[in-house]
Each structure stands twice: as C-alpha cells, then as structure tokens.
C-alpha cells in the first residue's frame, strides 16, 4: 500500500475517532432529568435505553478505530489479524477499521453469535490500550 493510501486511511480513521469521541446527542439523553408527566418519563426511559445501547456500540467502534490507528503506527495496517493475509483495499475503503479479511470476519461473527470466545478479542484490547 502506498504512503498516500495509508495517509488517507489514517485521515478517515482519525476523523471517525474524533467523531466518536465528541459523542452525539445520545449522551445528553442519558443525563435528562425525569419529567413530571408519566408518559414523558416512560418515553425518556426508552430513549435512555436506546442511548445506552448506542453508546455501547460506539465505544466498541471507538476501540476498533483506535486499534486500526495503532496498526497504522506499527505498519501492520491492512493485514488480517487472524490469517495475516492482506485485507482487500475495497474492504478497507468501506470499513477502514476492519481488522479481518471478509472470510475471517465471517468466522469471528459466527463464533460471537454462537457465544464462543474469540481469542483475538484479547489481542484487540491490548492493541487498543
Ligand atoms: Zn483473514
């Protein structure tokens, strides 16, 4: 991969990271005080649950984005964490923080869906630290 390509991926990742770190309106929803009206209260509770789920997803994504930036620093960006093959550029353009090639991602997703532990999670945590 050329330096220009790597730089454009870095830019995309940094933009995404900043976006995630800035947080959205979701965060505000969690802090909202309970309203006087019962209906509003229920509505807020629902909003809060959705917001928490979103935050959870965002913090996971942030971790993945950070890990990808780390891989850029370590010059291992674009290499599948599992099979060590190059991740196709088309995939990286769609998902710059992709850690796996498509077939490994599918295998990981299947394992997660089945509730099996995924070894790579630990490496991931370390890389994102
Ligand atoms: Zn792979």
Q: What is the pLDDT of residues 71-105, one digit of tens each?
A: 999 999 999 999 999 999 999 999 999 999 999 99
pTM attached to this predicted model = 0.73
Q: How far is the CA of 85 from the centre of ligand 1 (A)?
A: 6
**pLDDT interval class at 124 (50, 70, 90):** low
**pLDDT interval class at 123 (50, 70, 90):** low
Q: How far is the CA of 118 from the centre of ligand 1 (A)?
A: 14
Q: How far is the CA of 108 from the centre of ligand 1 (A)?
A: 10
Q: How far is the CA of 87 from the centre of ligand 1 (A)?
A: 7
35/94: higher pLDDT: 94
Q: How far is the CA of 120 from the centre of ligand 1 (A)?
A: 12
C-alpha–C-alpha distance, residues 9 and 11, integer Å? 5
C-alpha–C-alpha distance, residues 88 and 82, integer Å? 14
Task: Single out the residue of 1, 127, 21 nearest to residue 64, CA to CA.
Answer: 127
Superfamily designation of domain 3-128: DksA, coiled-coil domain (1.20.120.910)
pLDDT given at position 92: 97
Q: At what angle do helices 38-73 and 3-22 cross, to 10 degrees?
A: 150
Residue 7 has pLDDT above 60, yes or no: yes
Q: How far is the CA of 27 from the centre of ligand 1 (A)?
A: 35
Average pLDDT, stretch 35-52?
Answer: 81
Q: How far is the CA of 11 from the centre of ligand 1 (A)?
A: 24
Domain boundaries, the chain: 3-128
C-alpha–C-alpha distance, residues 107 and 22, integer Å? 32
25/77: higher pLDDT: 77
Q: How far is the CA of 106 from the centre of ligand 1 (A)?
A: 9
Mean pLDDT computed over every residue of the chain? 85
Q: How far is the CA of 86 from the centre of ligand 1 (A)?
A: 8
Residue 33 has pLDDT above 60, yes or no: no
pLDDT given at position 34: 47
């Amino acid at each position: 991969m050329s330096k220009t390509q790597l730089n454009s991926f870095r830019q995309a990742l940094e933009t995404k990271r900043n976006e995630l770190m800035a947080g959205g309106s979701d965060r505000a929803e969690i802090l909202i005080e309970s309203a006087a009206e019962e209906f509003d209260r229920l509505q807020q509770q629902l909003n809060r649950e959705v917001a928490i789920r979103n935050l959870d997803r965002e913090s996971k994504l942030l971790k993945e984005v950070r890990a990808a930036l780390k891989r850029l620093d370590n010059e291992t960006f674009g290499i599948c964490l599992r099979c060590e093959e190059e991740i196709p550029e088309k995939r990286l353009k769609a998902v710059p923080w992709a850690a796996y090639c498509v077939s490994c991602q599918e295998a990981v997703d299947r394992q997660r869906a089945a509730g099996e532990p995924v070894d790579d999670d630990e490496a991931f945590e370390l890389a994102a630290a």
